[in-house]
Structure 1
Amino acid sequence: MSTETDNRRYWDAAADHFDDEPDHGLRDPRVRSAWETRLRSWLPTSPCDLLDLGCGTGSLAQLAVADGHRVVALDRSERMAGRARAKLAGTDARVLVADAAHPPVGTGGFDVVLVRHVVWALPDPEAALRRWADLLRPGGRLVLIEGRWGSPPAGISADALAELTAPFGGSTHIEHLAQETALWGRAVSDERYAAVVRPAPRSSRRHTEIVDVHLILLRGEEVLLSRRHGTGYADGLLHAPSGHLEDGEDVRSGMLRETREEIGLELAPGDLEAALVMQHRSPEGRARIGWFFVARRAAGDAEPVNREPDKCSGLGWYPLDELPDDMVAYCRAAIDGYRAGHRFLLHLHESGDTIAYAPDGPARAVPLAPPGVPVSGV
C-alpha cells in the first residue's frame, strides 16, 4: 500500500474526532472568537477570493465565509471534506477533494491562499509554496499557520519557513502565537505562529539566496564541531558553528555575532580569516551562499561552551585529518576544500542525495580555481 493511501486513510479515520481539539472544532465561543479576530487581521478587509488548502473539517473556511469572503476549500481526505461541506452548507463555498500540494485550480485567481498545519508534512514544501504563490493575483498573500510541537519535535520552525519564502521577494511577516492561550483553548509551550507572505510580482522577482557564515575553529590540528538538535534540519549531524546573516549585516560581523551567541567566544575582527566561499544547493533545490572563516585557539584561551542547547546537543574537538562521517555533507566538503587549499567551491546536491555526508556517495564539490591560484581582481 502506498504512503499516500496510508496518509489519506489516516485522515479519514481522524475526521470523526478532529473537531474535539479546541482549535480545530472552535466549539468554545472564546476560542472561536480568538480565531475570528486573528483571521480578520490576516485577511483583506473587503471580500476576497480565498483558497483554503488542507481545510480539514472547514472551521477556518466557515469563519472566512461568515465575513463575506468567497471560499474554495480542499482536503485530500474525503471524510474531512464531507464534514467541511456540512459546515459550509447553504453558502456559496466550494469544497474539493484534492492534494493541497497540487491544487486543481487556475493560476492567478486568488487574493489569499490560507494553509494551516500542512507545510510541515509535505515531501517538497519548497515546490508547493512556489505553486501556491503562482495561484495569487498581484498583491495577494499566503497565510501560513504552522509551528513545531511534540517530542521529538514535529513541524517546521518560523525561521525555516521564512527561508523557504525568501526567494519570493516581497515580505514575510511572522506572528508568534504560542502565548495566546485563547487560540488553543489551553496553555502551550511549543512554537506556534502565522506567516503572512506577500510575494513580489513574478515579473520583478530576482534570484535570491540565503547568506550564512560558518566558523572553522582550530585548536592545533583539531576542529570544533557541534551536533545539531531540535532544529528540524540535519538534526543529529555534526556541523561547524554557523548561522544566517541578518539584514544589513556584513559577513564578518555576522560571524562574530554567531560565534558569541553559539559558543560564547568574544572574537575580534582580526581573529577571523576568510577561508572559503561556497555556493551550496540542498537536495530539495534550495540554494545558499556560505562564507567559511578560520579562527585559532591557543593554550590558555577560553574554551567554547554550548550557548544554544535547544539547537545543539554538544560540542567536540575532532582531528582535521580524520573528520567523522556523521557530518552535514556541505560542511564536510568545505573543511576538506579548505584543507586542500581551495578558496571557492560549488557544492550542488542532486535530487535524492542525502544531507549527511556519504563516504561512498557522489562527490558534489567543484573547485572554481586551482588551489593557490589567485582570482583576477581579488
Structure 2
Amino acid sequence: MAAGQNNARTAQQGASQWSSHDHRNLPTTVNVSGGCDDRCMTTDYWDAAADTFDEEPDHGLLDPVVREAWAGRIEEWLPDTPSEVLDLGCGTGSLALLAVEQGHRVTAVDRSARMAERARMKLAGSGAEVLVGDAALPPVGERRFDVVLVRHVVWALPDPEAALRHWWTLLRPGGRLVLIEGVWGEAGIPAARLRAALESVADAVHHERLSADASLWGREVTDERYALVAHVGPPRRHTEVVDVHLIIRRGGEVLLARRANTGYADGLLNSPSGHAEDGENVLQAVIREAREETGVELAPEDLRVALVMQHRGPGAQPRMGWFFEAEYGAGGEPYNREPDKCSELGWFPLDALPDDMVAYCRAGLDAYRAGERFVVHWHEDDDPIAYDPEGESRAVVLAATTGRPAGR
C-alpha cells in the first residue's frame, strides 16, 4: 500500500501478514526490536481488514506472476512428499491454498474470525481445516505437524522467542519451521534475532534473502525481507535435567527460600534446590546444594527419599526432581548462604503452606504431606510459574507398589 492511502487499513494489517506497506503508515506501537502492544493486536483490526486484504499483491496472489513466484518458493520450502502443514496467521489463506495445491494437508489458523471466514471460502473443497485462534498458541491440542509455516506474524507478537519455542514443540521429528519475516523501516524483526533463537534448537537453519525478488512483492523493494527454514533432527534418545530438593522438617514446619536475582520465579518461595552436575548422583547433589544454599552439612544417612516428581515448567523442557527429607538439626543450623540468589529463608507450616510458591514445588510438598511418593506435574505453556490456588491442579499421582512381586 502506498503512502497516503487509508492509514487505518494499514494499521489493521500486522498480526496476520505484512508485505509491501510504506513504513510511514505502520502502527506506532511497533518497533524494530519486534513486538506489538494490544492496540495493534486486537481482532477488530484484522476483522476490518479482511474484505480488502487480498488487494495487496503478496496477500491475495491475484497477479499470476506473483502467485507463481510464491508457489515456487513454497515448493522449495515444503517437503517433497505430502505432509501435514500448520499455517499460522494464515490471513485469507493464500499460502495455505498453494500448499494444498502441491499435495499437502493443511490446518490454517488466524485470530480474526473474518480472516478465517475468507480463508474457508478460498480453501472450500480442498480438505483444509481453518481454525480461529492465537497464532502464538494455536488451538491444535496434542497434534504434531511436519511443517509449521508462518508468514509476517512473528514481528507483531509480544514475545517472539516464546512463540518459537512453542511452535518447535508442534513439529514431528524431521519436521521444519518456515518463517517469512522482514524489517520495514522502523518496524519488523531482523533475521539475526530469529536465527539466533532457532540455532539453539535446530539441526540446521537456512537463511534465504527475499528482498531482491520483486516478483514476490509485485514491485521492487529495498528493505529486509527473508525466509528462515529451521529443521528438526531425527528422533534422539530422551534426556532430562535431574534436580534435587531438600525438605528440612522442624516438627510441623518446613524450610523455604525466597528466590531473587535468578531470572526464574524471582520473588517466589521454593524449597532449597538445584540440579545434579555431571558425575554426581542425587545424594551427592542434594548434599552439595544443602551446603551451598543453607550451610547445612548433611551426611547420606541424614537423608530419606520423600518424593520423585517429573515436572515441566511453562514452555520449558521436562525435569526429573528428587525430593529428600532431613530432620532439623542434622548438619547444623540453616542460614542464608546465598543472599545474592535468596532474599529470605523461613519456616512455614506444612499443613498451611503459603500461596506465593513455585507451582511445582507447592505440588510436590502437597503430595509429600499426603504421603504420595511418585508424581507427574506438567504445566501447559500458558500456565503461570507461580502456584495458583484457584487454578487447575497439574499434579498427577502415580500409584506405588505395596508389596513384593507375585511368587516371592
Which category describes the TM-score, using the shorter chain as reference length? 0.5 to 0.7
> What SS does the aligned partner of 2:140 have?
coil
- 1:145 corresponds in structure 2 to 180
**Within the alignment, does 1:87 sit opposite 2:122 as a pair?**
yes
CA deviations over 1:139-186 (Å, ceiling 9, x no partner): 000000000013xx2111110110111221311110000000000000
Q: Which runs of 5+ in 2 are unaligned?
A: 1-36, 241-260, 265-338, 342-408
CA deviations over 1:66-118 (Å, ceiling 9, x no partner): 11100000100011000000000011100000000111113462100000011
The answer as to whether partners of 1:108 and 1:137 remain within 8 angstroms in 2 is no
Structure number with greater Rg is: 2
Percent of pairs identical after alignment?
60
Could you say if the C-alpha distance between residues 104 and 140 of structure 1 is closer, same or farther in structure 2, counting changes exceeding 3 Å? same
- 1:162 corresponds in structure 2 to 195
- 1:335 corresponds in structure 2 to none
- 1:302 corresponds in structure 2 to none
**Within the alignment, does 1:115 sit opposite 2:150 as a pair?**
yes
**TM-score (normalizing by structure 2):** 0.49
Aligned partner of 1:47 among 60, 82, 89: 82
Counterpart-to-counterpart distance in 1, 2:262 and 2:120: 42
The answer as to whether partners of 1:65 and 1:93 remain within 8 angstroms in 2 is yes
> What SS does the aligned partner of 1:141 have?
strand
Counterpart-to-counterpart distance in 1, 2:78 and 2:69: 15
> What SS does the aligned partner of 1:16 have?
helix
For 1:208-219, what aligned pairs fall within 5 Å after superposition? none
Query: Residue type of the partner of 1:98?
Result: G
For 1:1-378, what aligned pairs fall within 5 Å after superposition? 3=38, 7-107=42-142, 109-150=144-185, 153-200=186-233, 203=236
Query: Residue type of the partner of 1:45?
Result: D
- 1:257 corresponds in structure 2 to none
> What SS does the aligned partner of 1:51 have?
strand
Could you say if the C-alpha distance between residues 201 and 167 of structure 1 is closer, same or farther in structure 2, counting changes exceeding 3 Å? farther
The answer as to whether partners of 1:107 and 1:134 remain within 8 angstroms in 2 is no
Query: Residue type of the partner of 2:221?
Result: V
Could you say if the C-alpha distance between residues 63 and 199 of structure 1 is closer, same or farther in structure 2, counting changes exceeding 3 Å? same
How far apart are residue 126 of structure 1 and its match?
1.2
Counterpart-to-counterpart distance in 1, 2:66 and 2:223: 18
The answer as to whether partners of 2:175 and 2:232 remain within 8 angstroms in 1 is yes
- 2:19 corresponds in structure 1 to none
CA deviations over 1:294-317 (Å, ceiling 9, x no partner): xxxxxxxxxxxxxxxxxxxxxxxx
Counterpart-to-counterpart distance in 1, 2:44 and 2:131: 17
CA RMSD of aligned residues (A): 2.8
Counterpart-to-counterpart distance in 2, 1:103 and 1:119: 13
Counterpart-to-counterpart distance in 2, 1:75 and 1:50: 14
How far apart are residue 131 of structure 1 and its match?
1.1
Could you say if the C-alpha distance between residues 107 and 172 of structure 1 is closer, same or farther in structure 2, counting changes exceeding 3 Å? farther
The answer as to whether partners of 1:168 and 1:200 remain within 8 angstroms in 2 is no
CA deviations over 1:33-57 (Å, ceiling 9, x no partner): 0000010000011110000000000
Could you say if the C-alpha distance between residues 58 and 282 of structure 1 is closer, same or farther in structure 2, counting changes exceeding 3 Å? farther
Counterpart-to-counterpart distance in 1, 2:69 and 2:86: 21
Could you say if the C-alpha distance between residues 193 and 5 of structure 1 is closer, same or farther in structure 2, counting changes exceeding 3 Å? closer
Could you say if the C-alpha distance between residues 204 and 126 of structure 1 is closer, same or farther in structure 2, counting changes exceeding 3 Å? farther
How far apart are residue 3 of structure 1 and its match?
2.6
The answer as to whether partners of 2:175 and 2:233 remain within 8 angstroms in 1 is no
The answer as to whether partners of 2:92 and 2:116 remain within 8 angstroms in 1 is yes
**TM-score (normalizing by structure 1):** 0.52
Counterpart-to-counterpart distance in 2, 1:21 and 1:281: 47
How many residues in Structure 1 have an aligned counterpart in Structure 2?
213
> What SS does the aligned partner of 1:44 have?
coil
> What SS does the aligned partner of 2:200 have?
helix
Counterpart-to-counterpart distance in 2, 1:6 and 1:28: 29
Query: Residue type of the partner of 1:33?
Result: E
Counterpart-to-counterpart distance in 2, 1:38 and 1:85: 23
How far apart are residue 200 of structure 1 and its match?
3.6
Counterpart-to-counterpart distance in 1, 2:95 and 2:41: 25
